[in-house]
Structure 1
């Protein structure tokens, strides 16, 4: 079985000494997240985040004119900007590795002019600030990640097995994932290995899979280059990670994991007109939202009881069913799987087509673009798709006898990042409430981030609208009734839920049992959403 250390057209990771030399060179050159930001300055760094290279290029050219140019300008120019550099520049900037070492690792290739070289890959600094608490490595330490060059660095059509780098989706999943310590973790569709970086901070062992051999070659290179920070023994890497080639869950059939994460290639692409053959790296080769459906239905089989999975995805919503968008997802879910799905955005078929045709960055001729656009619309129409939803999915293989958790909600406003710790707390609150035999005996207090907002007409005696707002986590807003507002105002931990409800019933002259039952039900929801916190749980 291949160890993916020498995959054609991917960086090579067999030579441990050479990788260590490169890491030392990059660190000495200050080619780190903070080092690059300081070198470029705020404006040029911000432009680079937008894939605008010119300000950074000007900074590199200015540095080349300095009496003693800083070494950092060369790796920035080479890997971030895709510019050609000379052998003497490379040897001076990265003296341990040198030009020949970079060629041996597959990080550069010869330029058209003799004695010049250009990047064969994108190699950039990365920091793992995701709110995790693992002890492996430095939580905010300097790491480096290789991936394929983007179209802004090397114009042209991306290869079918293009290996994506650090994008907004991968960062979102990293911030979304709950970072509790686990034994075995699965990174399904690893790409260049970003999620494995994060998982190794709190998992004893990570299995990373991908349908692309090149992706696994990039992943192994990245893990081995950053071995000390990720607590990997270069002589025995299998103690910390395993790489598997294959589609979806096939490579791990019959195995069980405590945690699975996936940023799958979920983009919906028409399977006609050649479009479906161009973008395996982003659609996984399946039609419609089939790849998300397959994972939602199948992940339970590779999870231990109580094991969880977190993933990103999009899903088709039939025309006229926008208010009932969760129905298709519920059909995919096995009976024994808990689910919490947060829909963050929806797009119409034309909007979806425009976004992904723009993402392809192919500079097509007008007629070719029009044909591709029409292909998207015809594909969606063939399945009566009205909109496409985007969001995140948290799944859990339910333990026998546990209360089912099924939650589907739209949250389109900005939320706190990383949100993983808040999702973890919310799930633990659900489990606590499910196990609570009598909420009336519990003492509650208002969470520290919660504020109250009142609106009333000028001159009105009482507010017409009272809102409870969260300043942290998912930043929900709850519309309050008069009695629920009174209840929350009394939640300082002194009185039990039952005592406060009884006092409000007497004050409002509502002795009927239904009043207390309805109020406790509303209180339960406030606990689940984190507005109210039990004194002990």
Structure 2
């Protein structure tokens, strides 16, 4: 367990009376997701998500800059927009805590002109959980758009695109013990507490664990934690990758690891690495080690979900390397969401840490990226999500690698879970002919034909939710789908179609049922017995929002 007395430049979590005062003042200022959204308006919120603060500054000015009349605007300017406040104004906005209390917690520091500056980003964050809406405040380091200069090497990332993606991708289910590997400021752990009896959160950065502990204690009530017995529900451990949990088993593992591929140098020091994104290993070795090592900590039936980058060698399929990392005794389902070239990849991550602010260093770093990829014959870099499972008896064996670059229904996690459940159902029902099927509620059919043509030339089945797949149907399969209303078994429908079409060839019926099984696996058809459940009437169960 990381010490409650945090290191320099990280929020302090050993002053419970100050944490209570902070929570009181933030609540009194109505510092919530919805209130901030209303104050800023849609355009300023959208700009802020792109790290552009000018519209938000204009919105807070338009709402009035007097802290006594508009305390919410002052809090937004201070913590979200990192603008200084005079001491009197800060005292007005935080009457219970005061400027010195903010300083004691490591949240504010004196400015040169006698005012005060935020030392961290502190923002509201909310989501819909199974037992109702949750709303908390999350502290992290100030980002590049909030402070000058290159980010510090031990920068603690806030609620970024990757962390939100993992939250939306994770299939939520009630579990005994869960692991958040590479917790950062704690986002994944906050969500795990809603459906795991016990959580272990690890990070290689002591400073990141200090932020996570601060956030847990600040929001103990909302997260259902006893601040005096934090370890009863969650443990914070320091260490690299799986080292802190060696020999333990988990029902669920989630990880947003430092997967960024970064050129290595012979004289490289730890302080030269950005710990939130750079694992210190060459190429995609960190993700490779994690994918290969995770099965050792999965209990029977346990699952792991993580994000990652992987290198794609020239002339090779994108999934070839990723598949080689997966051990034969676990299931794998990997979805590649994006693929970029070496140059675009370099530009993305150099800009991420504001390294373009030093032109000379930027040029050298860009060239190093290109040389590093070229040395390994890397033609492209993929980004996506990895799902692993140590299968229990009776569960399906999954070996699925697919590229989906179109927009998916978010959160995708519930749909992913439903897809795995359908695969398990198919494994338990090998004779599909005896089963009754219905068309999923989000499925529509499209028919295209030439003007004047008697029959359609193209028949498409589309999903309106979830993975939003589109599949091309044969006339026979379209007829099968149209008859799936739960009244007849799949075998009865296949036999009726064979008679109607005069198909007496031996392979027609089993071939049609095999195609129908694929439609079940993809979620176009669902078992009639589960049609009212999550496999058919799936509605998003998580609403991730942040100011």
**TM-score with structure 1 length normalisation?**
0.95
Find out whether 1:503 has 2:502 as its counterpart: no
Q: Matches of residues 129-528 of structure 1 in structure 2 within 5 Å?
A: 129=128, 132-133=129-130, 135=131, 139-272=132-265, 277-321=272-316, 324-400=317-393, 402-528=395-521
- Distance in 2 between residues matched to 1:363 and 1:340, nearest whole Å: 37
Quote the RMSD (CA, aligned, Å): 1.7
- What is the CA distance between 1:222 and its match in structure 2? 0.5
SS for the counterpart of 1:390 is: strand
Deviates more, 1:307-316 or 1:270-279: 270-279
- Distance in 2 between residues matched to 1:141 and 1:398, nearest whole Å: 32
- CA 1:503–1:5 in structure 2 vs 1: closer, same or farther (change >3 Å)? farther
- Distance in 2 between residues matched to 1:36 and 1:67, nearest whole Å: 15
- Distance in 1 between residues matched to 2:192 and 2:437, nearest whole Å: 35
- What is the CA distance between 1:273 and its match in structure 2? 8.2
- What is the CA distance between 1:482 and its match in structure 2? 1.1
- Distance in 1 between residues matched to 2:172 and 2:307, nearest whole Å: 16
Find out whether 1:58 has 2:53 as its counterpart: no
- What is the CA distance between 1:63 and its match in structure 2? 4.7
- What is the CA distance between 1:68 and its match in structure 2? 4.8
SS for the counterpart of 1:363 is: helix
Q: 1:17 maps to which residue?
A: 17
- CA 1:399–1:66 in structure 2 vs 1: closer, same or farther (change >3 Å)? closer
* 8 Å contact from structure 1 (residues 273, 372) kept in 2: no
- CA 1:67–1:486 in structure 2 vs 1: closer, same or farther (change >3 Å)? closer
- What is the CA distance between 1:268 and its match in structure 2? 0.5
- Distance in 1 between residues matched to 2:515 and 2:292, nearest whole Å: 32
Deviations 1:439-464 (A, max 9, x none): 10000010110000011112222111
- What is the CA distance between 1:31 and its match in structure 2? 1.0
* 8 Å contact from structure 1 (residues 419, 473) kept in 2: yes
SS for the counterpart of 2:494 is: helix
Q: 2:108 maps to which residue?
A: 108
- What is the CA distance between 1:336 and its match in structure 2? 1.1
User: Runs of 5+ in structure 2 lacking a partner?
Assistant: 531-547
- Distance in 2 between residues matched to 1:83 and 1:529, nearest whole Å: 50
- What is the CA distance between 1:522 and its match in structure 2? 0.6
Deviations 1:480-537 (A, max 9, x none): 1111111001101111111111111112221122111111111000000110011125
SS for the counterpart of 1:520 is: helix
- Distance in 1 between residues matched to 2:479 and 2:393, nearest whole Å: 39
- Distance in 1 between residues matched to 2:141 and 2:87, nearest whole Å: 22
- Distance in 1 between residues matched to 2:312 and 2:306, nearest whole Å: 19
**TM-score with structure 2 length normalisation?**
0.93
Deviates more, 1:202-211 or 1:352-361: 352-361
* 8 Å contact from structure 2 (residues 2, 238) kept in 1: no
SS for the counterpart of 2:51 is: coil
Deviations 1:379-417 (A, max 9, x none): 111111111111111111122564421111111111111
- Distance in 2 between residues matched to 1:144 and 1:67, nearest whole Å: 20
- CA 1:37–1:92 in structure 2 vs 1: closer, same or farther (change >3 Å)? same
